[in-house]
Amino acid sequence: MKTVAAISFLSNHSLSMDAEAVNLMEISPPMQIDGDIWCCELLIRTANGTIALQLTSDDPAKLDVRKLGLE
């Protein structure tokens, strides 16, 4: 079995993940799940499998995707 991703918690405040052979990244639109709770799912498809992250927020704007420019 090949490793899909390696995940580690840093100082209990952040998450670091390494994934190899990434083919595609997709994110679902934010949807309201309860009162002020919004969620979306980030899918990272690799040659070795798919990583699914469920993200929640109190504001759908915080789940907005912005493409970073490489300078």
> What CA–CA distances, in Å, run from 66 to 10, 12, 20, 27, 60?
24, 25, 22, 11, 13
pTM (predicted TM-score): 0.75
Q: Quick check: 10 pLDDT over 80?
A: no
Q: Has residue 15 got a pLDDT over 80?
A: no
Q: What's the whole-number mean pLDDT along residues 12-34? A: 89
Q: What is the mean pLDDT of residues 50-68?
A: 91
Q: Where are the domains of the chain?
A: 21-63
Query: What is the model's pLDDT at position 58?
Result: 95
Q: For residues 13-23, give the mean pLDDT.
A: 85
Is residue 67's pLDDT more than 70? yes
